[in-house]
Amino acid sequence: MEFIIKSGNPEKQRTACVIVGITESRKLTPEAKAIDQVSKKHLSNLIRRGDMDGKTGQSLVLYNVPGMLADRVLLVGCGRERDLDDIKYKKIIENSIKQLNETGASEAVSYLSQLPIKGRDIHWKVKQAVEISNECRYEFNEFKSKKNRDKKTIRKLVLTVPSRRELPTGEDAIKEGMGISKGVKLTRDLANRPANVCTPSHLALQAKQLAKSYKNLKVNILETQEMENLGMHSLLSVSAGSAEPPKLITLEYYNGEPGKKPIVLVGKGVTFDTGGISIKPSPAMDEMKYDMCGAASVLGVMCATAELGLPVNLVGVVPAVENMPSGTATKPGDIFTSMSGQTIEVLNTDAEGRLILCDAMTYSDRFNPDVVIDIATLTGACVIALGKYATGLLSNHSPLANDLISAGEYSNDRAWQLPLWEEYQSMIDSPFADMANIGGREAGTITAACFLSRFARKYRWAHLDIAGTAWLSGANKGATGRPVRMLMQYIINKSAK
Ligand code: BES
Ligand code: MN
Ligand code: ZN
């Protein structure tokens, strides 16, 4: 979808559809008022008759509005003006796109980007409108034999700003929003692909293609033998049962101050998680194709950062494996030595994410990182604790945690911090090795992070558990692209400093 920035009055727009807001109760926004005036009270008459009182979720398409050059006017309910916040804005933009798609309009001019949202400026409103509209229009039909090509949908959306003065700000916001949307789409596409297509080798190929598309991106893929030589026996213990060869993918992007320490992102890339010998129950096991959402978000962020040419040093590390049961698979009780030298007793082969992340985190040390952020669909416990709205966040450095929390708030892709207190560490004690890979039923998200923290002693580190946020189940099943928007905001904030 194409976005354009414009200023000017609604009645002057020669377009298929002009979109304006109505707030509660039965109040016209300034742009709706302008239409009301040229149409000799067409809108206020209609609203008085009770067709719309401005509740969020309501909408109304009007044809042949007197005095208007546009074919249609779409009224969108915005709720009470004083309640307009980030979440309401998202709903309003989504409603407007859904309603537009019900009409035959292929282009529109939206005035919703001028709604007064608490604490948000025009840059934020335009950028959010771009990202939300793109995400809302996303479809995954790579595997449908009939693509619904004939469906006419909106192709061009003009977002308006109050005056000519804001045009450059608006254009900037569109550029940023489009770059981020590209990353989000890549993340969702990769994650939605089935595990028979999206294998570790597939992820490696995708990384290579990214490096081909952007000259600033350098790719490196480690194969089994090289990982063995490095002593990554924890990572390799997870792929031991699979016919798919494991890959350790690295993408490097150095476009910031020379010599400045990079941000390193580590993404869990389990392309399918059966649980291994500690096999998972059958219901909904198909969803374990999403166990590479951390990896997909790292590739999405690398893509968006390169696309925007951000002045930052950034490295992405993706351990990619498949977790399968077989005669060669790891067994409960097996002990492995990780690349760090620490030994691990694998009590449950289904707690595999931490086993691949720990070696990737030790490996990350060679990039001399400023910070390391790992992203993983790590624990079912996180889904129980926080549900689908908040990503779990644990960190050994509170300024880093705070930076991520505020980036999440700004981008409406939020995280909530859980404690990483010393007391929890003893829960992963093992009688036979330096640590066990599970810590019992209690505090599952925290004990998983405790495990990872033992491989993060040399640097500032944060862990994002996206088990609840990376995809939706049920009727709307599919990858969300989270937390690409949060991470992009974190990187944008960092590169501005
Ligand atoms: N990939 C899963 C976590 C998961 C489960 C994500 C459900 C989303 C939905 C992870 O590898 C796993 O199996 N974790 C176990 C850990 C346990 C064995 C300590 C879990 O959470 O049950
Ligand atoms: Mn598992
Ligand atoms: Zn897993």
- Residue-level pLDDT at 149: 65
Distance CA 57, CA 461 (A): 41
Mean pLDDT of 429-433: 98
For the CA of 448, the nearest atom of ligand 1: 19
Ligand 1 in reach of 274 Cβ (< 6 A): no
Q: Are 354 and 342 in contact (CB under 8 A)?
A: no
Nearest to 284 by CA among 36, 481, 477, 46: 477
Reported residue count of the chain is 497
| Confidence category of residue 486, pLDDT binned at 50, 70, 90 | very high
Query: How many angstroms separate the alpha carbon of residue 140 from the centre of ligand 3?
Result: 23
d(C-alpha 4, C-alpha 171), whole Å: 8
Which of 117, 116, 61 minimizes the C-alpha distance to 86? 117
- Specify the fold of 2-162: Leucine Aminopeptidase, subunit E; domain 1 (3.40.220)
169 C-alpha vs ligand 2 centroid, how far in Å?
45
pLDDT digits (tens, 9 = 90+) for 252-266: 999 999 999 999 999
Active site residues: 280, 354
- Protein residue with its CA nearest to atom 22 in ligand 1: 380
Where does the pLDDT of residue 431 fall: very low under 50, low under 70, confident under 90, or very high at 90 and above? Answer: very high
Q: Is 291 touching ligand 1 by the criterion CB < 6 Å? A: yes
List pLDDT tens digits, range 471-481. Answer: 999 999 999 99
**In this structure, which amino acid lies at residue 192?**
N
State in Å: Cα 368 to ligand 2 middle. Answer: 30
Closest-lying ligand to the alpha carbon of 321? 3
| Rounded alpha-carbon distances, angstroms, from residue 313 to 251, 369, 381 | 11, 10, 33
Is the minimum distance from the CB of 273 to ligand 1 under 6 angstroms?
yes
Question: How many Å lie between the centroid of ligand 1 and the Cα of residue 268?
Answer: 12
Has residue 219 got a pLDDT over 80? yes
Q: Are strands 263-267 and 371-376 parallel, antiparallel or unpaired?
A: parallel
According to DSSP, the β-strands at 18-24 and 2-6 are unpaired
Quick one: pLDDT at residue 179?
98
Over range 18-45, report the average pLDDT: 97
Residue to mutate, 277, 379, 465, ligand 1, most ligand atoms under 8 Å from C-beta = 379
Rounded Cα gap, residues 467 and 388, in angstroms? 8
How far is ligand 1, taken at its centre, from the CA of residue 280, in Å?
A: 9
CATH architecture of residue range(s) 180-496: 3-Layer(aba) Sandwich (3.40)
Which residues fall within 8 angstroms of residue 438, CB to CB, at 6 or more apart? 347, 348, 351, 428, 447
263 in contact with ligand 1, CB cutoff 6 A: no
Matching residue, tokens 């960092």 = 494
Q: Please state the atom number of ligand 1 nearest to the C-alpha of residue 377.
A: 6
> Is the C-beta atom of 379 inside 6 A of ligand 1?
yes
Task: Report which protein residue has its CA nearest ligand 1's atom 6.
Answer: 467
Mean pLDDT taken over the chain? 97
Is the minimum distance from the CB of 408 to ligand 1 under 6 angstroms? no
> From CA 341, how far away is CA 426, in angstroms rounded?
19
Q: Which amino acid is at 264?
A: V
State pLDDT tens for residues 155-192. Answer: 999 999 999 999 999 999 999 999 999 999 999 999 99
Task: Tell me the domain boundaries of the chain.
Answer: 2-162, 180-496
pLDDT exceeds 90 at position 361:
yes
Arithmetic mean of pLDDT, 216-230: 98
- Do 304 and 488 contact (CB within 8 A), yes or no? yes
Signed CA dihedral, 466, 381, 193, 195: sign only: positive
pLDDT, one tens digit per residue, over 131-156 is 999 999 999 999 999 877 666 789 99
C-alpha–C-alpha distance, residues 198 and 271, integer Å:
7
Sign of CA dihedral 295, 300, 302, 305: negative
Cα 142 to chain centroid, rounded: 20
Q: Tell me the CA–centroid distance for residue 284 and ligand 1, in Å.
A: 13
* C-beta of 438 in contact with ligand 1 (< 6 A): yes
Burial readout 53-77 (b: 16 or more C-beta within 10 A, e: otherwise): ebebebbbebeebeebebbbbbbbb
- Which residue's CA is the closest to the ligand 1 atom numbered 17? 351
Give the separation between CA 417 and CA 317, rounded to whole angstroms. Answer: 23
Query: Is the CB of 277 within 6 Å of ligand 1?
Result: no
Atom of ligand 1 nearest to the CA of 270: 1
